[in-house]
Structure 1
Amino acid sequence: MHLIPLPALADNYIWLLHDDHGNAVVVDPGDAAVVEQALVAHRLQLRAILLTHHHHDHIGGVPALRAHHGVPVHAPDDERIGEATARVRDGDRVELAEPSVQFEVIAVPGHTLSHVAYVGAGILLCGDTLFSLGCGRLFEGTPAQMLASLDRLAQLPGDTLVCGGHEYTEANGRFARTIEPANADLQQRLQEVAALRARLEPTLPVLLAGERATNPFLRVDTDAVIAWCERQGAGNDRVARFAAVRRAKDGFRA
């Protein structure tokens, strides 16, 4: 399975997966034109659409793509996604014949209450739940819900490729450095990110193992993050620690 991040809108990534026979599936197509251009450029036929959550920058291109290609749309069970042809819930499997791939559906409430992620072929398509060096804002869910969602994702194999929905890595990294300034893995990742962005290349996908070593939102049980949280008065409870880190990120400007 081949994986292509398509930059779209201000800082989104639309994920295009395809096989060697020209069959493609697209994830969170916020802009139909970007997808159409990629299909033509790579000589691909769109076979299915997967959606992680209802926000317009992730679903805005669906009506045009469905009108042109007539493909199924797999989406969370949320009435705010009107173009869905198949509703998915936690534990479901999405089996596609072309391309031949199977995805497990994982409910990951937090950013939104109905948010889902898809895992298959060594790939994690996680929308706005998990970013490189960060996580999504809590627009609808609670800190406990988001932490539980991230815990589930963090338990996937370390060689899983994390495909988040936005190019936020540089800004996330500047914040992560304030939490763990002595983290050598984080410093190395920041150097890699700076080099990639200087070449206008995506910082995603990224290995989950690397995120476990560098992403403060996956590290609330580590000594360094606990120490930081204790200085904020939130060191004893892991949900409180997560909430403190998320609150600090919400107010971070640098």
Structure 2
Amino acid sequence: MLLVMEHPAYSQLRNVTPSAGVVLCPNPSYAALEGTNSWVVSAPGDTHSIVIDPGPEDEGHLNVLNAKAGEVALTLLTHRHHDHADGAHRFRQLTAAPVRAMDPLYCYGGGQPLVDGEIISVPGVTPQIEVVATPGHTSDSVCFFLWSGTPGESDLEGIFTGDTIAGRHTTMISETDGDLAAYLLSLKLLEERGAGIPLLPGHGPDAPDLQPFARKYLDRRKYRLDQILKVWQTHGKDISLKEMIDLIYDDVDPVLRGAAEQSTRAALKYLESLPSS
């Protein structure tokens, strides 16, 4: 009898598309939801695999991921955040596979920085991966489009979104190098290209259609921006950040207040950059 696993399934390789499976890291938190999704790309009969986001520096998870992924030829990172990338150097030691990321500081073992628009093809792995820069959550955020073969001539099986779009809830904008204007453009790109394409997120459950998630994210950002504008109209632009967050995030768990502050600062920066009407 075939056992069909559903999210969440810790320390198991759960098949999601014909060429992609996920190993869920046991690092649950408010930000990481049930944990980090570490993705394994390999079609039936392939001799090697590609791993996307090995996750935090958790020895148990990295060893399970290494065992489930088989012969790893390459590791890719969607962005630099610790719950996706901190285990990359150790995973390189376990697999001898190079690590590639948009940020050169997170490339290991001879891996070269990712280039927007490039096609990644690896010997022993049938699927090919299209690199699509999606800055906003962080400046180095990328999504990986999973093609069953040659891009444009094969099936687009899914889109690995990292933290750009999660399988549940929304994503904060990094206070250090996040950019709301860039993020909105990234979401619009994913809304257009993700219609009817499976969502393969960095956290939370996968879904059969990415488009409604991108639309929900865009609508939510507009809602928050409209809230800020209304607060300014009522209380003036000199209102403190604390007072503003108290007013517009009255429906958010206090544990998430730090994330709310970061996203609000990014929203304020975005609104201040708009030309005056």
The structure number with the bigger radius of gyration is 2
Equivalent in the alignment of 2:178 = 141
Give the drift of 1:205. 4.0
Gaps of 5+ in 1: 168-202, 235-243
Give the drift of 1:218. 3.4
Q: Which amino acid aligns with 1:2?
A: S
Alignment of 1:113-128 (within 5 A): 113-121=139-147, 122-128=157-163
Give the drift of 1:34. 2.2
1:86 is aligned to 2:112: yes
How many pairs does the alignment contain? 200
Report if aligned partners of 1:132, 1:206 keep a CA contact under 8 Å in 2. Answer: no
1:19 is aligned to 2:43: yes
Equivalent in the alignment of 2:209 = 207
Question: 1:43 & 1:112 partners in 2: Cα distance?
Answer: 28
Question: 2:44 & 2:123 partners in 1: Cα distance?
Answer: 13
User: SS state of the match for residue 111, structure 1?
Assistant: coil
Which one has a larger percent strand, Structure 1 or Structure 2?
1
Gaps of 5+ in 2: 1-17, 29-34, 148-156, 231-243, 255-277
Alignment of 1:28-47 (within 5 A): 28-30=53-55, 31=58, 33-40=60-67, 42=68, 44-47=70-73
Equivalent in the alignment of 1:200 = none
Deviations 1:79-123 (A, max 9, x none): 2x1526121121122112221222111111111111111112222
Report if aligned partners of 1:32, 1:62 keep a CA contact under 8 Å in 2. Answer: no
User: SS state of the match for residue 25, structure 1?
Assistant: strand
Deviations 1:207-237 (A, max 9, x none): 214425xx5213469xxx77x9757646xxx
Superposition CA RMSD, Å = 3.1
Question: 2:23 & 2:228 partners in 1: Cα distance?
Answer: 39
Report if aligned partners of 1:77, 1:89 keep a CA contact under 8 Å in 2. Answer: no
TM-score normalized by the length of structure 1? 0.67
Q: What percentage of aligned pairs have identical amino acids?
A: 22
Question: 1:26 & 1:165 partners in 2: Cα distance?
Answer: 12
